[in-house]
Structure 1
Amino acid sequence: MNILEINRLNKTYENHTALQGIDLNIPKGSIFGLLGPNGAGKTTLIRIINQIIDGDEGEILFKNEVLQPKHIPFIGYLPEERGLYKKMQVWDQLIYFARLKGMPRLEAKEKVNYWLDKMEISTWKEKKIEDLSKGMAQKIQFIATVIHEPELLILDEPFSGFDPVNAELIKNEILELNKKGITIVLSTHRMESVELLCNHIAMIHQSKLVLRGSLKEVKKQYRNKVYKVILEPNDPAGLPAEWVVASVDGQYTLEIPLESKKPNQLLNEMIALGEVHGFSEIIPTMEEIFIQQIKSN
């Protein structure tokens, strides 16, 4: 089942086409990576989903219903440009946002206390936002976004401004929210985050959808059937020079195209040449696929 279905979506600003013919399904319960370079159209798409702006043509379905204002409470949005009231105290800020999401006051207080404890920032509750560091304010923004546990959570560059320790904390919170059944759309330039978190992805470039599918399917699509072999050869001089990537202490790292062979055939050939210490297919990273898509479109 898809929590969100986008059909033939178009959006134009004066003479600039922001989105062109976008067809996209976001599976319920997935962590969905929305990728693309700056200016590709990602933010426009996110704003349309959040009903901040309207598309010109096309249709968006939320749980098989045409997207409409009644669905807003079921969607959480963490924008890349954060928006907190700098003069408000942390406690008041979070209670305010929880109440905006429709939470009763008592439940809002319980949830705010829960999240402040969970993020180990209870001692900040009386501090004003303007007195917080950027990373501390980011934590408050994250709590304000997830406090009502929406069915669909859209995070735009959620790791921006965090040091590695707090980035790991936010990553773990994202995974925990997903385990509760929350669908997460992750818009980011950090391809290592996509590799770690996402099970489905889509990429927008120059207003068009250029890539989509499960992470496994996409990486399989871009594999070039080259194998990495770590070999201690009987006769190093007999190795074709084009295979050799590096050699250290008698061990050679080779990159060999599979061509028409089966993996086991190649492995048997390598065993015949010496002692095999490693044998694996070279799978392209999401960063490599991302760069390849940008250059080819």
Structure 2
Amino acid sequence: MEFQHTTVLLHEMIDSVITDPHGIYVDCTLGGGGHSLALSEKLEKDALIVGIDQDEEAITAASERLKGVSSRTIFIRDNFSHINKILDSLHMDQVNGFIFDLGVSSHQLDDGERGFSYMHNGRLDMRMDQRNPLTAYDVINSYSEDELARIINEYGEERWARRIAQFILRFREEHPIETTDALVSVIKAAIPANARRNGPHPAKRTFQAIRIEVNNELGILKQVMEDCAAHLTPGGRLGVISFQSLEDRIIKRTFREMERDCICPPDIPICVCHHHRIVKSVGKPVKPSDKEISANPRARSAVLRVVEKC
């Protein structure tokens, strides 16, 4: 299946992050290469784009798509949480800009074989990195009721989390839950009919929760934001697009912490920490236009936040 992904907030991200057309820019979520391609069109020949993705299919597709660009490119298959190790291996200390387009790509959702989607049947997988030993099948068929309920409640913000976990255990006692269609059926059976009539697809929140657990999507965000900020040149920028409230909450809180000058407890009258802010916000959070949402409904929940190194 060809790797296809509609890049969200494309020009808003690029226009915000580029500060030096001769600089080094790291696309930490390379995907199909949409942001990197747009970057290359505004950079000079001596500029460098480093594209990182843990998905082998993304690396292959983006490498092909960016083959003819004029600026220099390096592609690395790795998890962006290893940004310190990646930059060390490239002998890079400072970078002019970082780009993050978080969450699952259109290609991953639309390819039923990857097991991300409740709309396309496939084996329960959900791994963004195919080398990851933990799959959605493992989570669904081996986690305890309490573990499942916690994940579905915490990562999916699903009010029926406990009931869904109970139904999963009841169904898997007879035989393993192996496919996305089978899991959707269990979720629909667990959620009362009147609660399924309105709102999003009944499986949406649970699938999100399982995907986040498999890929540890939230657990790595705070540290990688701090690591990227440490590698920015003064005046360099870090841009992050998030698609759901849990991600955005972590990004917003982490940026706010890095923007603070004093971190002393509020009951201390005089600053003794001598802490200085690392970054400052660039403008207000940006959301897609009505036109973009109309053309790509998946963009609806996107939020772009940008900070600049002080």
TM-score range, shorter chain: 0.3 to 0.5
Q: Comparing both structures, which one devotes a greater share of its residues to strand?
A: 1
Taking CA–CA contacts closer than 8 Å with sequence separation of 6 or more, which of the two structures ends up with the larger relative contact order? 1
Larger radius of gyration between Structure 1 and Structure 2:
1
The two structures have a TM-score, normalised by structure 2, of: 0.31
Name the one with the larger helix percent. 2
